[in-house]
Structure 1
Amino acid sequence: MADLAVYFRLARAQVRGQLSYRGSFVMNCFGQALAQGNDLLVILVVFGRVAALGGFDITAVLLFYALSGMSFGLADMVVGSIERLPTYVRTGAFDVVLMRPLATLFQLFAGDFQLRRIGRVLTAFGTLVYVLSTTDIHWTPAKALLLVLTPLAGATIFAAIFVAANSVSFWFVDSRELANAVTYGGSYLTSYPITVYVGWLRTLMAYIVPGAFVAYYPGLTLLDRADPLGGPSWLGWLDTPVAALAALVAGLIWRTAVRHYRGTGS
């Protein structure tokens, strides 16, 4: 809890600094929103040519996109600064991180907190509002809770992917692009139904990397849709337990990676 309190203090200080240049902050948020909007534009272009994608209409795909975009945007804003880890390891700056009386992950998370990344969340949230307002969903208290928890659970899953993917930096000199392929690539893949992917990619990105629990299965539950792949309906309620398990696995990978670190030798 003490580490968490320090993290919030450091993040709040950075937010105050970023908001002191409001014009720049607004433009940066707008740029992030446009970046997220590019993926939305691709979906709209695709559905200008086809009526269904992987067995789903545009409403379902937009719901997947919105849940995935909100999840990734939140994770990128809170833990995205861990992408600087390869530079820390290569230059030896990670030695300084180890010397401070604060958890290493929290230091990296707070090292470059960028509130501007909330622009991604806003674009996805706007899409979600549109989908929910134009779709006849049979609401129950359980579904309402699922809708609230899904972006948080998805953000936790993406945060775990960020940590696990960037932990490779302790074994390879510069693994930034490898990590980006898993993190940003995972965001793109989870924006679509997993039925559009070939078997090996579906197994890798949907189950080994549990991307299917970010948006696909919760989205099916919200829409009362059966899984074309034959998965049981209760999978949609497992996003929070899967997120907790992903966080645990990522934490174990991180601890193993840090113990492997031996410095730069300089």
Structure 2
Amino acid sequence: MVRTYLLLAWTWTRAAAAYRLSFTIMIVFGFLIAAMDLAAILVIFANTTTLGGFSREEVLFLYGTAGVAFAMADMLFSNLDRTSQHIKAGTFDAMLIRPVSAWVQMATDRFMPTRFGRVLQALAALVYALAALDLPWQRLWMVPLMIACGMVIFTALWTFGGAVQFLLTDAAEVANAFTYGSGTLSMYPFSVYGRDLVRGVTYVLPLAFINWQPGLYVLDRDDPFGLPSFARFLGPAVAVALTLLAALAWRQGIRRYRSTGS
């Protein structure tokens, strides 16, 4: 499955890289567009010293970890939100008869390596934050783990979004509200949000385990909402549980799918 994904993604990458100038411009353009979110944070700190009780560097750390995880998942798997387009066009039928997972085919359909510019932008912000904060090395092991778990959680959300489109073929925009909306929400300290919203993104849609809870551990900060300290280490368990649920939803969607007859 992994080998097939890489082969398909490489095919689209070679096709895009054939036009080198366009390929480079799109990467730079993606970098600059993503930098607008960073610019918004810098504007806020031009007028204040803290945001939700967190310093500029701490906010950039949360922004960078969530940004890298989201941008990687966006580049690698966000094409799952195009499921309804294939259902309407009748091209999803062809995916089902090929000896390759339909999920892999959907994830790599029109794969866009130019989105790597967004990854570079978030990574640059994260590197700067880590250098400025000078965090104890004993806690840095959590950083790659939280990025990996974040990627898995975001990918599961895109899979859920794709699965929903088997039932509601016009639900792509609704799914995007949860995927792209979750990416934006997780880039800020959860202390700036209301308590009810934080409960929702902790117990219902577990975005808190992408970078908020593990980020509190890395930054050695207390949870302003009073969750126990062990919650900071639940990211892998949450990622696995959400992946299993997303896989189940996708399989149920496949089973309920009815061919267009094309």
Q: Given the two structures, how large is their TM-score scaled by the length of structure 1? A: 0.93
2:10 is aligned with what amino acid? R
Q: Percent identical across equivalent pairs?
A: 37
Q: Within 5 Å, give how 1:29-178 maps onto structure 2.
A: 29-140=27-138, 143-178=139-174
The structural deviation recorded for 1:265 is 5.5
Count of residues in Structure 1 that have an aligned counterpart in Structure 2: 262
The structural deviation recorded for 1:173 is 2.6
The structural deviation recorded for 1:256 is 1.2
The structural deviation recorded for 1:204 is 2.7
For 1:200 and 1:147, locate their aligned partners in 2 and report how far apart those are by CA, in whole Å: 27
Q: Is 1:189 the equivalent of 2:185?
A: yes
Of 226, 241, 249 in structure 2, the residue corresponding to residue 253 of structure 1 is: 249
1:166–1:175: 8 Å Cα contact kept in structure 2? Answer: no
11 and 224 in structure 1: CA distance in 2 versus 1, 3 angstrom threshold = same
2:58–2:133: 8 Å Cα contact kept in structure 1? Answer: no
Could you list the per-position Cα deviations for residues 189-234 of structure 1 after superposition, in whole angstroms to 9, with x for gaps in the alignment?
Answer: 0001112222333233343221111111121111111111111222
For 1:31 and 1:179, locate their aligned partners in 2 and report how far apart those are by CA, in whole Å: 25
Residue 175 of structure 2 is matched in structure 1 by 179
Q: Given the two structures, how large is their TM-score scaled by the length of structure 2? A: 0.95
Of 229, 236, 241 in structure 2, the residue corresponding to residue 240 of structure 1 is: 236
Could you list the per-position Cα deviations for residues 104-135 of structure 1 after superposition, in whole angstroms to 9, with x for gaps in the alignment?
Answer: 10111121221111111111110111111111
Runs of 4+ in 1 over 4 A off after TM superposition: none
| Structure 1 stretch displaced more, 192-201 or 64-73 | 192-201
1:99 is aligned with what amino acid? I
Of 199, 209, 214 in structure 2, the residue corresponding to residue 218 of structure 1 is: 214
The structural deviation recorded for 1:178 is 0.4
Three-state SS of the structure 1 residue aligned to 2:165 is helix
The structural deviation recorded for 1:139 is 1.5
119 and 207 in structure 1: CA distance in 2 versus 1, 3 angstrom threshold = farther
Q: Within 5 Å, give how 1:2-21 maps onto structure 2.
A: 3-21=1-19
2:92 is aligned with what amino acid? F
253 and 205 in structure 1: CA distance in 2 versus 1, 3 angstrom threshold = same
The structural deviation recorded for 1:243 is 1.2
Unpaired runs of at least 5, structure 2: none
| Structure 1 stretch displaced more, 255-264 or 34-43 | 255-264
For 1:118 and 1:155, locate their aligned partners in 2 and report how far apart those are by CA, in whole Å: 14
For 2:223 and 2:195, locate their aligned partners in 1 and report how far apart those are by CA, in whole Å: 15
